[in-house]
Structure 1
């Protein structure tokens, strides 16, 4: 997926020229790493000298905010994250359901599938709320964040695909608790932080839309 090219601010023009001199793959595994040498246009005009930049090719992912408006509960998952462990952060993170999108797959359908696999629930009225890049300074990953309504009755337990060595614990988190975690700087996962920020601003409207006063 490619994000649409918009100026940073409405009515603002930005540089647009990039000249790639060389692009070499250095590692191909679960993620691909490459080195690109290039020049790009400067704000004041002209081009930069040739520079070298490392790139992590992370791919395209989705995440989904799963909300039960009747119970005022969010369905969230906890699992081990290697990046957090390597950074010295608690690697068992509370997050929204997320997963990778393969070429040709519909992102909304992937979000629904991941909700079933990771949390044992089936969202309805699924809608896209944001598209974001977690680390555009050196990573190609694009994450599309969705919202979906669920019935949280009976949701919980341990989930995940055994052949992918997934070990995922499902939590029902009261909306007020989740927002308090957000405000208390207790949500380090980027897509979860953004999804919770959106949810906190739109929660009342979501409840009204589904007949909860």
Structure 2
């Protein structure tokens, strides 16, 4: 194995940064050059960066019933690319206030699914698309009681219209295998739970 690349502070020369668009999200254009693996600095390049708040995604899991809670809502990014732009997903929200990721997970579970999370299990933190966005996602498993879960929830003032589904764990895996659950956070969380389910149920039941 080759020696790992260990860049220092001088590895990136940020020459200019301008904001091209500022709305709920922001788009910046960066002019920069960076160090090459073989040494020296590379050519000047331009990159657009989608500037987003970091996000929190949580898979509510009922260890007693071995069921997960998924939500379904309209997603504009899926228009024209999927059979339907109503996607099955995890409970999720942005860290757009002075909150810890765990606080966001619990708040969003109440707002989007009317669920109380009694414990949180950190799964991982990752960049969903670092080639063009600075968003980082905090992924959790959340312990819940799925009895009585369901219905339509969300904040009307945020245009949310969210339907809740309670799904046996094995059925959720089948949805993923069939391509009906096709977003990264949901797939990561379900695969993690498939690998760690015995330990989770042992500690949470």
CA shift digits 1:99-157 (9 cap, x unpaired): 01124211101100100010011011212111011100001111101111101111100
- Give, in whole Å, the separation in 2 of the partners of 1:79 and 1:111: 18
Unaligned residue ranges in structure 2 (runs of 5+):
none
Q: 1:19 and 1:138 mapped to 2: Cα distance?
A: 18
Give yes or no for contact 1:127–1:146 (8 Å, CA) kept in 2: yes
Q: Is the 8 A contact 1:15 1:42 kept in 2?
A: no
* Equivalences for residues 1-213 of structure 1 within 5 A: 12-16=4-8, 17-85=11-79, 87-88=81-82, 90-211=84-205
RMSD: 1.8
Taking the aligned partners of 1:161 and 1:104, their CA distance within structure 2 comes to 20
Unaligned runs of 5+ in 1: 1-8
> In the TM superposition, what is the alpha-carbon distance from 1:202 to its structure 2 partner?
1.1
Deviation (angstroms), 1:190: 1.3
Deviates more, 1:179-188 or 1:33-42: 179-188
**In structure 2, distance between residues paired with 1:88 and 1:58:** 24
Alignment size in residue pairs: 203
How far off its partner does 1:205 sit?
Answer: 1.7
Q: Report the Cα offset of residue 87 of structure 1.
A: 4.0
Q: What displacement does 1:13 show? A: 2.9
Q: Distance in 2 between matches of 1:153 and 1:125?
A: 17
**TM-score normalized with structure 1 length:** 0.90
Q: TM-score, normalised by structure 2?
A: 0.93
* 1:86 Cα offset (Å): 5.4
